[in-house]
Structure 1
Amino acid sequence: MMELAREKQAAELKTLKETLETDTKEMKKKLEAKRLERIQAMVKVTSDKMAQERLKREINNSHIQEVVQVIKQMTESLEKHQEKLEEKQAACLEQIREMEKQFQQEALAEYEARMKGLEAEVKESVRACLRGCFPSEAKDMPERPCEAFRELCEQDPLAAKAGAQESRL
């Protein structure tokens, strides 16, 4: 879940940066068109070549300053948006961590509850099995384990199996 969230967040940041790049290119095109219009208007009004060159340099310098200022503003805006997005993403990741922790606690509690009930369930299953095999003895069966069953359980399984095979012969 965390991995998916991180992938989505990386995609969001990438989209934000791509949007800035696209917007910057569009703004540069608009400013360039504005610069060219100003130069063309100046050429129509001014016939002196020296004056045209001087005004053209002024227009170009003004254009450069304007482009730098606009790009700086757009970059600052991006940084603010990116910071807000990263804060939102950090909060989202923290929420996911808390949810995972809660789910783990719930799963652990469920596991512990099942383990506690398992002993009683096994005892009841053994009693039910014994009732089926030995109905008369199951009623009188005490809560403590029978000595005969304990002996069978404590025997070495391989020795018990070998003993059973010998008795068949």
Structure 2
Amino acid sequence: MSPTLAGIRVAVVTVSDRSFAGARDDLTGPALCGGLAAVDAHLSPRIVPDDASAIAQVIEDAIADGARAVVTTGGTGIGPRDVTPEATAPLIAVPLPGIPELLRQRDAGRTPLVALSRGLAGLTAHEPPALIINLPGSMSAVESALEVLPALIAHAIAQVDGGDH
């Protein structure tokens, strides 16, 4: 049986100075939205610049608006403006390191550069908790992640809501 995210609000946050300014089309955000819409997620896409306070604020706003999962794309590398992990870390109460480890492992055969991705994942302290997952801003990373994200998100939300393992 395929995973479904029916009834689950998922915020997709693209972190990119250029996309925020309209200087470059956002490709990864719409790809994430398309993949998650295919499993019936209720989506809320957003674009923010590479700024830690703006990233944290948009994540907090999405959760306040009812998002149970927030998937970010972009800002996980080691460039001077890559601050998504720094913005996300203070919002995570329960780290879930297995998620970014899995995502990096899945793509390691394609390129060893995945080792430079610093994406995080975890649950917030909100009631109910929200799941945050950071993805790199590349289409190949997003496409690969979409093969496992629906099941991970659905299972994580079911567990934190008291469902069976």
Q: Identify whether the pair has TM-score above 0.5, normalized to the shorter chain.
A: no
TM-score range, shorter chain: under 0.3
TM-score normalised over the length of structure 2: 0.23
Q: Which has a greater percent of strand?
A: 2
Over alpha carbons, which structure has the higher Rg?
1
Length-normalised TM-score, structure 1: 0.23
Q: Which has the higher helix share?
A: 1
